Structure 1
Amino acid sequence: MTMPPRTRSFVQVDVFSTSPYQGNPVAVVLDGTDLTDEEMQRVARWTNLSETTFVVAPTVAEADYRLRILTPDGELPFAGHPTLGSAYAWLDGGGVPRQADRIVQECGAGLVTVRRGADGMLSFAAPPLVRDGALDDAYLERIVAAFGIGRDRVLAHQWVDNGPGWAVLRLATAEEVLALEPDLALIPDAMVGAIGAYPDGSPYDFEMRTFAPRCGVPEDPACGSMNAGVGQWLTGTGAAPSAYRVSQGARVGRAAAIEVSADADGTVWVSGATTVCIRGTIVV
């Protein structure tokens, strides 16, 4: 017997840009209750965005909701722009957090705090890294070969993995980062980024680019999880000030702006603008 179709509230949120359609979109199904893993994956493949999320009931008392985060190819324990976009969608859809000034999201990486600033902008607390430290020589050589640069161009390199598997190379300048023409066929399983500094007095402090061939995403327009891990690394080592701005997405026709700041206790926060661009229902 064919089951009748089910409809759920559905939004698409643009994250990390004050100008709609210039950041990174995330599709949010606001009630994923009783949807199977197969149904969620089918929707995620169909939206064909880097991530589609499903809000479901939390399993712990501290959380306001639990978030399932799916790429077209599988599920992630954590992702940054889906966290901000889903939190905004949940609030926009009438969600009321237990604490007035913050939301607690449960996901595969554990509990993630999202706070609201005085300007209404949302920030998430960077989750703990599951892997850090310098890259091994063999992996570094594969990345620089794929990036088409010499190893001498790399100022520093680090695992900044908070779930997706991120590694990052630090180059000398934003111009060098923007000039990269990576051959991702050489690193098909990689989750890797590059960051470089802008000159003093520029509107942004750094340019970031992130590449996720493992998830089927050649280049991410704006990556919250990468910026979270990199923020922990740079502020923790003194390579960046306690608050800085990142530009991302120029090479894929976007204009993302990401704010990174570190509290006195070392907690790193990643924030950016969020806008609902599509609102309606989805049939599952």
Structure 2
Amino acid sequence: MAEFQFQQIDVFSAEPARGNPVAVVIGADGLSTEQMAACANWTNLSETTFLLQPTMPEADYRVRIFTPRTELPFAGHPTLGSCHAWLAAGGQPRGNTIVQECGLGLVPVRAHNGCFAFAAPPLRRSGTVQPDLLHRVADGWTDNGPGWLSIMLGSRREVLALEPDYAALSDLCIGVTGPWDPIHDGQQAQFEVRAFAMACGVNEDPVTGSLNAGLAQWLIGSGLAPRHYIASQGTCLGRAGRVHVDQENGKIWVGGVATTLIEGVLRL
């Protein structure tokens, strides 16, 4: 049995235990894929990550990301939580921007005063959904790894009122967004987001960086959102997620607060 540094990070909320948790195993190079998958199934969080030595010379560290059911090439809140854990464990970036290596490739990450942001990876797929899916959901793909089917509704109220048939949509990952009404909803955010990730073994994810990254590229690119906005997510789960989106020099950054809530030793 080997011992590993372990942290559980709350991401995308300034309020403790009201964001999205990610479990991070540090120095996990000695673990097999099967051990990582079993550990992620055991934590039963939406994602568990494993920090490894990089294989690409440009990278500061490498991460593998697992849901309870499968491995992902990229995911947003695990990227921010993993970067936070890597720095907390003594990681030293080579430059002003931290470079993460993951299944999708290299992802730049910025860190400042407890806030973290990643540069949104290019969409692997975009455009209209296949006709046979239109009657089940609708509207557009924003795929940067997990394969999100993204839908925009008319209001925050409509988004919060959704009651999905999880069994009927069990093979899909569906993201839904709708605008806040500043008069009725306030001005803390401009969009409400919900993420239904049944295909990854998670009915509803509390706060989802990869989905928000894909949505931002779609919404800003089509003129439906400003270059800088805040998305609220996790409301129906009792969370207070806030995702900050900024378009700078043609690149979209997705970020929020990350805080360590659990720290200790994992024995595998």
TM range (shorter): over 0.9
Question: Which structure: greater helix fraction?
Answer: 1
- 1:83-94 matches, within 5 Å, as 83-94=79-90
From 15, 25, 29, the counterpart of 2:11: 15
Tell whether 2:123 aligns with 1:139. Answer: no
Q: How many residues align?
A: 265
Could you tell me which runs of 5 or more consecutive residues in structure 1 were left unpaired when the two chains were aligned: 145-156
Name the counterpart of 1:283: 267
Q: Secondary structure at the match of 1:180?
A: coil
Any idea what the Cα deviations from partners look like across 1:189-246, whole Å, max 9, x if unmatched?
A: 1011110001135221000000000011000000000000000111111110000001
Any idea what the Cα deviations from partners look like across 1:33-64, whole Å, max 9, x if unmatched?
A: 12111111111111010100000111110000
Name the counterpart of 1:63: 59
Could you tell me which runs of 5 or more consecutive residues in structure 2 were left unpaired when the two chains were aligned: none
User: Which amino acid is 1:170 matched to?
Assistant: M
- 1:112-127 matches, within 5 Å, as 112-117=107-112, 119-127=113-121
- 1:1-284 matches, within 5 Å, as 5-99=1-95, 101-117=96-112, 119-143=113-137, 157-200=139-182, 202-264=187-249, 266-284=250-268
Give distance in 2, aligned partners of 1:75 and 1:131. 19
Give distance in 2, aligned partners of 1:191 and 1:12. 24
Give distance in 2, aligned partners of 1:164 and 1:98. 29
Q: CA deviation at 1:120?
A: 4.1
User: Which amino acid is 2:264 matched to?
Assistant: G
User: Which amino acid is 1:281 matched to?
Assistant: V
Give distance in 2, aligned partners of 1:173 and 1:229. 19
Give distance in 2, aligned partners of 1:239 and 1:141. 24
| Divergent runs of 4+, >4 A | none
Q: TM-score, normalised by structure 2?
A: 0.97
Contact 2:114 2:259 in 1 (8 A): no
Question: Which structure: greater strand fraction?
Answer: 2
Give distance in 1, aligned partners of 2:68 and 2:140. 27
Superposed CA RMSD in Å reads 1.0
Question: Percent identity over the alignment?
Answer: 52
User: Which amino acid is 1:128 matched to?
Assistant: P
Moved more, 177-186 or 198-207: 198-207
Q: Secondary structure at the match of 1:58?
A: coil
Contact 2:114 2:258 in 1 (8 A): no
Give distance in 1, aligned partners of 2:197 and 2:70. 13
Q: Secondary structure at the match of 1:142?
A: coil
User: Which amino acid is 1:236 matched to?
Assistant: G
Bigger radius of gyration: 1
Q: Secondary structure at the match of 2:218?
A: helix
Contact 2:125 2:141 in 1 (8 A): yes
Q: TM-score, normalised by structure 1?
A: 0.91
Q: CA deviation at 1:136?
A: 2.4
Q: CA deviation at 1:140?
A: 2.1
